Structure 1
Amino acid sequence: MALIEALDRLEGTRIRTNIITGDEEQIDGFGLIDASSIRRKHGLDGRLLWCEVKLSDWVFNAIRAHEVLTLHRDYFRLRKPIERRVYELARKHCGQQDSWRIGLGLLLKKSGSQSPEKRFRQMIRHLAEHDHLPDYSVSFNAETDVVTFTNRGSMSAALPSSSWSGPLDPEVYHEAREAAPSWDVHYLESEWRNWCGREEIAPKAPERHFLRFCKSWYEKRGRA
């Protein structure tokens, strides 16, 4: 039953995003997974035989383009939802940086917690005192209401921006201009190389990878 409930939650989770281009706005909605199928033994045993999950196109494309944020395995051992949410924010905003500072009020807003600020302050203070968040050490300054996340250095070091420094086939620039009209393809190439370095990506097919990056860039930002 736990597996079925988990799949129901995933299928029921919907995401909506928007892209503004000039005076027009495009709003898209999608789910995390499109469908799921479970086969198990009938009866008291109920032993699972297999489970199949069909990812949505958005999730599949994000994974294929290495645009999914990785999580420490101990993330799943965090018992409290607020601890998991705070870790997600630290992973996103601090990343591989040495540290990240944020005001308590803004952290509360970003977390989406419905707790009053007084209660949220207690939870952050407790988190800082026990200091068991994966990847980041947490400290809280009660006088300034500032929370600081310090990188523990437990993540693999990011590759330099030149992790893949080979030349691209000159023909790819024409396709890049079609994938991201109005954008400077050499600027996009620089952004792509820097992104590959930050995300520790060494593409096996760099031209195809670069074109997917250009397409995704244009879909998110529209015309230059």
Structure 2
Amino acid sequence: MVCEGPNQLKIRSPLLPERHPVQDFFVCDIFDAAPKGDMASMEHPVFSLSTRPDLRVRRYEHNDAWIEIKPSSDGLATIHDRDILIFCISQLIAAINEGREVSQSVRFRAFDLLTATNRMTNGRGYELLRAAMERLAGTRITTNITSGDKEIMRGFGLIESFEIVREHRDGRMQEIEVKLSDWVFNAIQSQEVLTLHRDYFRLRKAIERRLYEIARKHCGRKPEWRISLELLRKKCGSGSTLKEFKRLVSKVCKDDETSDHFPDYRVRIEDRGGRGKDIVVFESRGSIPSIANGKSEVRELDPDVYHQARLAAPGWDVRELERQWRIWMEMSDGDQPRNPEAAFVGFCKKWNSRRKAPRS
């Protein structure tokens, strides 16, 4: 019996206290995650190619889509700043493929990001990382481009915020937390991402990185893709004249002809006398495997997992869900999950939450 009054006894719970409450952020702990980029910013010229602060307000229109990018006083986010987003996207996609829950806030060790993206790990490397996060947070975007089947008509940053959680004694960042924008997180949840070659982080020139992104998005698994030099300049977001842009692309083509350094694709220019008629050709090197007869390479699932799938998606035919999952794995260009059972159950949960179960 419990006494009432000021000296009443406090009943002790039969449960131990929750010593480690559920975190509202995702910890990056997958060290071999394949690099991933979101398709929207691979398609559109979101990032600056300049090595100097780019203070231009740019607007890109193509067909019915438009995007306006406004810099902060530090300038537009650069294509090298994009490394931070690629690292975060890669970690979250790898976790989703393992059936783990993810969050819009991502926490990681600065050293892990620097090494994963082939950056310097000295004091200069940490300074550049800090400046990159400031530009990502300061660059504002307004667009009608859909991301994850959602049309966003408001301004937002490439990242909503960042926080340096811990620092070394010498002031270098040790642990960082980044909150991704709705735009990027919607793309992750909808698997609107593509795998990038690891040598992407070894490309020295900004124009090379941008050309690779465009080729990866448009050429993809196809044997060849062609684009006019003028439209390519527009997609790159280059501020150069057409003549200067042709010189820059020609240098990339010449270097690739000599060293075969350009990842996944060969690139060349078909000179048609200038005046906007020149064509840039990307040819697949065959390093990106094509989808064979719609059959997934993911191994057969453990029979026990179908019971978990039925609990995760009541009312659905789990064999049909498995077929949809395998198609989705192929079409989303996803890597083979380390734990296919957990990934399949996670897929079933998301499927059930987004769709009404059929009537029995």
Q: Which residue of 2 aligns with 1:180?
A: none
**Length, aligned pairs only:** 194
Q: Whole-Å Cα distance in 1 between the matches of residues 176 and 314 of structure 2?
A: 45
Q: Does 1:99 align with 2:228?
A: no
Q: Does residue 74 in structure 1 map to residue 207 in structure 2? A: no
Per the alignment, residue 150 of structure 1 pairs with 283
State the one-letter code of the partner of 2:175.
Answer: W
Deviation at residue 162 of structure 1 after TM alignment: 4.7
Q: 1:8 aligns with which of 131, 134, 142?
A: 134
Q: Residue deviations 1:111-145, cap 9 Å, x none?
A: 11111111111112111111132111001111261
Report the TM-score, using the length of structure 1 for normalisation: 0.69
TM-fit CA distance, 1:16: 2.5
Check whether the contact 1:161–1:198 (CA below 8 A) recurs between aligned residues.
no
| 1:199 aligns with one of 310, 332, 351 | 332
More strand by share: 1
Equivalent residue, structure 1, for 2:251: 126
Task: Tell me by how many angstroms 1:97 deviates.
Answer: 1.0
Q: Partner of 2:199: helix, strand, or coil?
A: helix
Question: Cα distance, 1:209 vs. partner?
Answer: 4.4
Say if 1:65 and 1:212, in contact at 8 Å, map to a contact too. no
Give SS of 1:134's match: coil
Secondary structure of the structure 1 residue equivalent to 2:196 = coil
Rg larger in 1 or in 2? 2
**Equivalent position amino acid for 1:154 in 2:** S
**CA distance change for structure 1 residues 77 and 47 in 2, over 3 Å: closer, same or farther?**
same
Shift of residue 46, structure 1, vs aligned partner: 2.4
Flag the 1:200–1:41 CA change in 2: closer, same or farther, 3 A: closer
* 40, 43, 55: which one aligns with 2:167: 40
SS of corresponding position for 2:155: strand
Q: Compute the RMSD of aligned alpha carbons.
A: 3.6
- 2:239 maps to what in 1? 114
> Which amino acid in structure 2 is aligned with residue 29 of structure 1?
G
Larger helix proportion, structure 1 or 2? 1
Q: Which amino acid aligns with 2:233?
A: L
Larger relative contact order (C-alpha < 8 A, sep ≥ 6)? 2
- SS of 2:268's equivalent? strand
Cα-to-partner distance string for 1:2-26 (whole Å, 9 max, x where unaligned): 2210110111233323279xxxx96
Q: How does 1:57-68 map to 2 (within 5 A)?
A: 57-68=182-193
User: What secondary structure is seen at the aligned counterpart in 2 of 1:155?
Assistant: coil
More moved, 111-120 vs 10-19: 10-19
The one-letter amino acid of 2:179's match is K
What SS does the corresponding residue of 1:50 show, helix, strand or coil?
strand
Aligned partners of 2:193 and 2:332 also within 8 Å:
no
Q: Pick closer, same or farther for the CA change 1:54–1:9 going to 2, 3 Å.
A: same
TM-score by length of 2: 0.46
Separation (CA, whole Å) in 2 of partners of 1:191 and 1:94: 25
2:155 maps to: 29
